[in-house]
């Protein structure tokens, strides 16, 4: 067994010193120098200084000439290597873009993966794209090579107009002065080969049709396929999907990365000032990789199992004896036309069906007794019919002096595309939440699934529903190390239907767990702009900590550890200072804190030769494999080859977990193991999650509240009630 990274050590000559001319930094000055002298010199910003490097010892600036040692200056070495690599690729006639990472797209016709799928003339192509980034891994400067696909237009908008394809309401792109394709705007009118579009500032612009391109999005590609090929389009779309999936497989990804690295190894890459660089073999990290133990779940009567299904069979859910909604009253909202099918579906959901894991249904598997079910039907799919039907159900139960324990609402797939105020999914949720009724929506299309597939869907649906009603399916077994430990997930979602329209960012959403996975509280801020995010986060955090302090009866002198999980680009200084200001109010306690950044878009992959012969997940490492990259960084695989559902699922992506250096608790192994356990703790599904539940729950809360906030009559204060303390968002 060999474990390697897609990272290749950068080898450089014995020169430990370089010459540079140093001048003061100014943004405009740096831009002008690169524009005017970029072919013969290179310019590096070092804090408040600009370092100029020359190929002949002459400099276009006046300043102090300085000798700089390279022994420990990896940042400067990285810059000189990347600058040399860009110049080398450019000399080959390639057009590298960007810098961190460098993007290299193959535009050769033979590299268009659509070639053998669509023989006819076609105005889009899907090319191979490489990303090359320099990182410090295991104390070594290394080139990380990753590969993806990139959709590109091959014809101008005039081609589509001549074919009779409607561009109104679609996004177009234009080539900028540097030859890069950039999003231009939304097409609003076409007249005589002239396209009127709305740009990002909302201004109307006009361009010639032969100077713009239709955006190469999945939506536009699929639309044109259906326009051109009619009934054959679905078959072509599926073939393209499979081809893309195969491209992203571990085997293909590794082969392409190895091919490019082998070529670069055979070449000499020189910096502008003459330093020679080379590449070593892929980093072999077999001895450095370790394996996290499976998390242990706690069920009824403290029963333990490392597999949730086994735990339910042996012990039942954690709250089997304390669940307070036994023999629940359930209202079902569905269309009159499909009532018979829905009745059969609901019976399978409650009573069970012939299935590997769902024979006993919600009632038997979760030991909730016998449900009392009533159906309320609507005639059509209008949002008003939904509202009236739901109001009828609420009123009926209210007149009986009670409240529904659960609402099951039938929706349709097409509802996703409706405006929020006309969307039964959100309007129905808002109305039921206002009356503190947990709700689970199910798609009408689900009813036509095969029993095999339906069994898995209902199994997950029952898990989420039990949690929505306030039940606790399981907890995580933990070893308490101190008085109190809180894990806080910070989530976000960007709301807005239009790419260039007004967008709101919902931030400051937190989910709080104790170290054993107990879901303590959810607290929310309103939809806020990025500028208001910091204030919303600190306000929310203050309220959350005060609630937990009272609920958990913190005592003076106790140790409180607070771990923040966030999938952000980085924790900025102001953000950390704001959180520390909140924590400073708790001087009576010994407070430890860790800011943990969780990144899934980093380009680093682990390839495992032990799975090279597997049918599914070739070269995929197992779930729980981890590699310490530094004292502050860990590469962790939350899903592995066995968690992939089919051969075409691609190579699993690991997370890079980084603990901020301003944290006062920095045990990266402990923090990563805790995060790994939280990836198996979602009550939305029995499958391990590719993100920890602290993040996935937070993002779900942010997304749901962001859209609910747009529903007329919605009042976020209803979440202060009991409904807000459950997993209402699953």
716: tokens are 């976020």
Examine the domain organization and report whether 462 and 489 are in the same domain.
no
* Lowest pLDDT segment from 99-108, 211-220, 366-375, 464-473: 99-108
Give alpha helix (H) positions in 325-382: 339-351, 361-365
Q: Is 80 exceeded by the pLDDT of residue 300?
A: yes
CATH number at residue 539: 3.30.420.10
For the residues 600-626, what does the mean pLDDT come to?
92
Residues 6+ apart with CB under 8 A from 116: none
63: tokens are 């300043």
pLDDT at 377: 95
pLDDT at 410: 96
For the residues 175-195, what does the mean pLDDT come to?
86
Rounded Cα distance between 490 and 595, Å, is 11
Give pLDDT tens digits for 308-342. Answer: 999 998 999 999 999 999 999 999 999 999 999 99
pLDDT at 601: 87
Examine the domain organization and report whether 403 and 451 are in the same domain.
yes
Instruction: Check: CB of residue 268 under 8 Å from CB of residue 87.
Output: no
Residues 6+ apart with CB under 8 A from 364: 351, 352
Cα–Cα separations (whole angstroms), residue 369 to 327, 582, 596, 666: 5, 45, 42, 47
SS3 content of the chain, % helix, strand, coil (to 5): 35, 25, 35
For the residues 574-592, what does the mean pLDDT come to?
84
Instruction: Check: CB of residue 334 under 8 Å from CB of residue 377.
Output: yes
Where does the pLDDT of residue 584 fall: very low under 50, low under 70, confident under 90, or very high at 90 and above? confident
What is the overall mean pLDDT for the chain? 89
Examine the domain organization and report whether 521 and 496 are in the same domain.
yes
What percentage of the chain carries pLDDT values higher than 90? 58
Sign of the CA dihedral 441, 443, 448, 449?
negative
Rounded Cα distance between 638 and 633, Å, is 15
Does a cis peptide bond (omega within 30 degrees of 0) precede residue 101? yes
Strands (E) located in 31-101: 41-46, 49-54, 64-69
Examine the domain organization and report whether 583 and 686 are in the same domain.
yes
Q: Is 60 exceeded by the pLDDT of residue 498?
A: no
For the residues 31-47, what does the mean pLDDT come to?
91
Examine the domain organization and report whether 539 and 426 are in the same domain.
no
Asked, for residue 417, whether it belongs to a domain, the answer is yes
Examine the domain organization and report whether 447 and 591 are in the same domain.
no
Where does the pLDDT of residue 715 fall: very low under 50, low under 70, confident under 90, or very high at 90 and above? confident
* 66 phi/psi in degrees, rounded to 5: -140, 145
pLDDT at 698: 82
Examine the domain organization and report whether 494 and 525 are in the same domain.
yes
Examine the domain organization and report whether 591 and 516 are in the same domain.
yes
Instruction: Check: CB of residue 59 under 8 Å from CB of residue 20.
Output: no
Judged by phi (left if over 0) then psi (alpha if -120 to 50, else beta), residue 496 lies in left
For the residues 83-106, what does the mean pLDDT come to?
91
Residues 6+ apart with CB under 8 A from 331: 373, 374, 375, 376, 393, 397, 404, 406, 407, 408
Examine the domain organization and report whether 484 and 456 are in the same domain.
no
Please give the helix or strand (H or E) that residue 434 lies within, else none.
Answer: helix 424-434
pLDDT at 495: 63
pLDDT at 248: 87
In this structure, are strands 3-5 and 606-608 parallel, antiparallel, or unpaired?
A: antiparallel
Q: Is 70 exceeded by the pLDDT of residue 136?
A: yes
Examine the domain organization and report whether 572 and 516 are in the same domain.
yes
pLDDT at 509: 64
Name residue, tokens 């997930």.
489
What percentage of the chain carries pLDDT values higher than 70? 94
Examine the domain organization and report whether 452 and 546 are in the same domain.
no
**Structural domain of 356:** 324-468
CATH number at residue 435: 3.40.50.2300
Asked, for residue 520, whether it belongs to a domain, the answer is yes
Asked, for residue 366, whether it belongs to a domain, the answer is yes
pLDDT at 497: 53
Asked, for residue 95, whether it belongs to a domain, the answer is no
Rounded Cα distance between 387 and 392, Å, is 8
* Lowest pLDDT segment from 398-402, 476-480, 691-695: 476-480
421: tokens are 């105020």
Residues 6+ apart with CB under 8 A from 232: none
Residues 6+ apart with CB under 8 A from 221: 124, 151
149 strand-pairing partners: 128
Asked, for residue 144, whether it belongs to a domain, the answer is no
The domain total for the chain is 3
Q: Is 90 exceeded by the pLDDT of residue 583?
A: no
Give pLDDT tens digits for 387-424. Answer: 999 999 999 999 988 899 999 999 998 888 788 889 99
| 405-421: burial string, b at 16+ Cβ within 10 Å, e else | bbbbbbbeeebeebebe
Asked, for residue 409, whether it belongs to a domain, the answer is yes
Instruction: Check: CB of residue 538 under 8 Å from CB of residue 578.
Output: yes
pLDDT at 708: 87
Q: Is 70 exceeded by the pLDDT of residue 570?
A: no
Q: SS in 3 state form for 520-580? A: EEEECCCEECHHHHHHHHHHHHHHHHHHHHHHHCCCCCCEEEEEEEECCCCCCHHHHHHHH
DSSP state of 612: T
Rounded Cα distance between 403 and 677, Å, is 36
Where does the pLDDT of residue 619 fall: very low under 50, low under 70, confident under 90, or very high at 90 and above? very high
Which among 427, 449, 468 is the end of a domain?
Answer: 468
pLDDT at 536: 73
Helix (H, G, I), strand (E, B) or coil at 372: strand
How many other CB atoms are there within 10 angstroms of residue 382's CB atom? 12
pLDDT at 478: 78
Asked, for residue 84, whether it belongs to a domain, the answer is no
How many other CB atoms are there within 10 angstroms of residue 262's CB atom? 12
How many other CB atoms are there within 10 angstroms of residue 575's CB atom? 20
Half-sphere exposure of 359 (CA within 13 A, CB side): 5
Helix (H, G, I), strand (E, B) or coil at 85: helix
Q: Is 90 exceeded by the pLDDT of residue 488?
A: no
Instruction: Residue 134: name the closest of 95, 89, 79 by CA.
Output: 79
Which among 41, 69, 97 is the end of a domain?
Answer: 69
Rounded Cα distance between 62 and 33, Å, is 12
How many other CB atoms are there within 10 angstroms of residue 640's CB atom? 20
pLDDT at 442: 95
Q: SS in 3 state form for 457-504? A: HHHHHHHHHHHHCCCCCCEECCCCCCCEEEEEEEEEEEECCCCCCCCE
Instruction: Residue 233: name the closest of 220, 219, 223, 245 by CA.
Output: 223
Please give the helix or strand (H or E) that residue 634 lies within, else none.
Answer: strand 633-636
269: tokens are 């890459």
Rounded Cα distance between 695 and 96, Å, is 34
Strands (E) located in 282-326: 290-291, 297-298, 304-305
* 266 phi/psi in degrees, rounded to 5: -80, -5
pLDDT at 23: 92
Helix (H, G, I), strand (E, B) or coil at 443: strand
Asked, for residue 227, whether it belongs to a domain, the answer is no
For the residues 488-517, what does the mean pLDDT come to?
66
Which among 468, 488, 508 is the end of a domain?
Answer: 468
Examine the domain organization and report whether 453 and 355 are in the same domain.
yes
pLDDT at 577: 80
Rounded Cα distance between 701 and 708, Å, is 10
* Lowest pLDDT segment from 97-111, 200-214, 537-551, 611-625: 537-551
Q: Is 70 exceeded by the pLDDT of residue 524?
A: no
Q: State the Cα angle at 230 between 227 and 231, rounded to 5°.
A: 155
Tell me which of 722 and 365 has the higher pLDDT.
365
521 strand-pairing partners: 512
CA-CA-CA-CA dihedral for 329, 522, 530, 633, to nearest 10:
-120
Judged by phi (left if over 0) then psi (alpha if -120 to 50, else beta), residue 356 lies in alpha
* Lowest pLDDT segment from 45-49, 444-448, 694-698: 694-698
pLDDT at 434: 92
Where does the pLDDT of residue 102 fall: very low under 50, low under 70, confident under 90, or very high at 90 and above? very high
206: tokens are 């006009």
């Amino acid at each position: 067994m060999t474990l390697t990274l897609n990272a290749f050590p950068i080898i450089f000559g014995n020169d430990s010193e370089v010459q540079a001319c140093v001048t003061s930094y100014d943004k405009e000055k740096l831009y002008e120098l690169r524009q005017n002298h970029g072919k013969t010199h290179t310019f590096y910003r070092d804090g408040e200084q600009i370092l100029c490097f020359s190929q002949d010892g002459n400099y276009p600036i006046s300043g102090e000439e300085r000798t700089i040692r390279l022994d420990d200056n990896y940042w400067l070495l990285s810059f000189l290597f990347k600058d040399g690599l860009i110049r080398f690729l450019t000399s080959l006639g390639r057009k590298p873009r960007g810098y961190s990472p460098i993007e290299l797209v193959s535009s050769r016709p033979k590299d268009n993966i659509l070639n053998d799928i669509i023989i006819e003339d076609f105005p889009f192509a899907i090319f191979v794209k490489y990303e090359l980034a320099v990182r410090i891994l295991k104390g070594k400067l290394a080139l990380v090579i990753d590969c993806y696909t990139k959709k590109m237009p091959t014809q101008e908008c005039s081609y589509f107009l001549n074919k009779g394809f409607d561009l109104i309401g679609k996004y177009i792109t234009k080539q900028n002065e540097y030859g890069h394709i950039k999003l231009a705007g939304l097409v609003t009118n076409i007249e005589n080969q002239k396209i009127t579009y709305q740009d990002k500032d909302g201004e109307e612009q006009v361009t010639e049709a032969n100077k713009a391109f239709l955006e190469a999005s999945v939506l536009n590609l699929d639309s044109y396929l259906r326009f051109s090929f009619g009934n054959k389009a679905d078959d072509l779309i599926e073939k393209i999907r499979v081809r893309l999936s195969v491209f992203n497989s571990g085997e293909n990804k590794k082969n392409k990365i190895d091919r490019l690295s082998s070529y670069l190894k055979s070449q000499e890459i020189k910096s502008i000032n003459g330093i020679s660089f080379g590449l070593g073999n892929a980093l072999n990290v077999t001895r450095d990789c370790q394996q996290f133990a499976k998390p242990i779940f706690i069920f009824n009567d403290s029963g333990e199992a490392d597999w949730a299904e086994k735990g339910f069979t042996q012990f039942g859910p954690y709250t089997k004896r304390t669940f307070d909604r036994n023999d629940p009253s359930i209202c079902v909202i569905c269309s009159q036309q499909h009532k018979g099918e829905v009745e059969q579906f609901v019976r399978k959901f409650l009573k069970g069906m012939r299935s590997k894991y769902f024979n006993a249904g919600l009632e038997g598997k979760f030991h909730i007794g016998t449900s009392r079910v009533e159906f309320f039907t609507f005639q059509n799919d209008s949002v008003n019919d939904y509202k009236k039907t739901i109001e009828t159900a609420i009123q009926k139960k209210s007149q009986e002096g009670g409240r529904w324990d659960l609402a099951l609402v039938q929706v349709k797939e097409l509802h996703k595309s409706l405006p929020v105020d006309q969307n039964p999914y959100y309007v129905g949720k808002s109305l039921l939440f206002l009356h503190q009724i947990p709700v689970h929506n199910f798609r009408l299309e689900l009813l036509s699934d095969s029993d095999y597939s339906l069994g898995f869907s209902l199994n997950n649906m029952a898990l989420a529903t039990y949690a929505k009603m306030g039940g606790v399916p399981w907890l995580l077994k933990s070893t308490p190390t101190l008085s109190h430990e809180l894990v806080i997930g910070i989530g976000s979602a960007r709301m807005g239907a239009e790419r260039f329209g007004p967008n709101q960012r919902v931030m400051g959403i937190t989910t709080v767990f104790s170290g054993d996975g107990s879901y303590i509280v959810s607290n929310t801020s309103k939809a806020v702009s990025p500028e208001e995010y910091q204030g919303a986060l600190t306000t929310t955090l203050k309220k959350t900590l005060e609630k937990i302090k009272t609920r958990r009866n913190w005592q003076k002198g106790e140790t409180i550890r607070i771990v923040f999980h966030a999938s952000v680009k980085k924790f900025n200084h102001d953000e950390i200072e704001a959180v520390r200001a909140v924590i400073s109010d708790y001087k009576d306690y010994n407070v430890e804190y860790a800011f943990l950044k969780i990144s899934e878009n980093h380009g680093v992959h682990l390839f495992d030769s032990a799975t090279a012969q597997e049918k599914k997940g070739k070269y995929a490492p197992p779930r729980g494999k981890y590699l310490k990259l530094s004292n502050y960084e860990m590469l962790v695989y939350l899903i592995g080859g066995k968690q992939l559902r089919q051969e075409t699922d691609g190579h699993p992506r690991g997370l890079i977990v980084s603990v901020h250096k301003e944290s006062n608790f920095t045990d990266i192994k402990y923090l990563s193991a805790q995060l790994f356990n939280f990836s198996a703790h979602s009550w939305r599904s029995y499958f391990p999650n590719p993100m920890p539940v602290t993040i996935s729950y937070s993002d779900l809360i942010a997304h749901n509240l962001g859209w609910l906030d747009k529903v007329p009559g919605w009042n976020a204060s209803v979440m202060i009630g009991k409904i807000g303390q459950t997993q209402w968002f699953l």
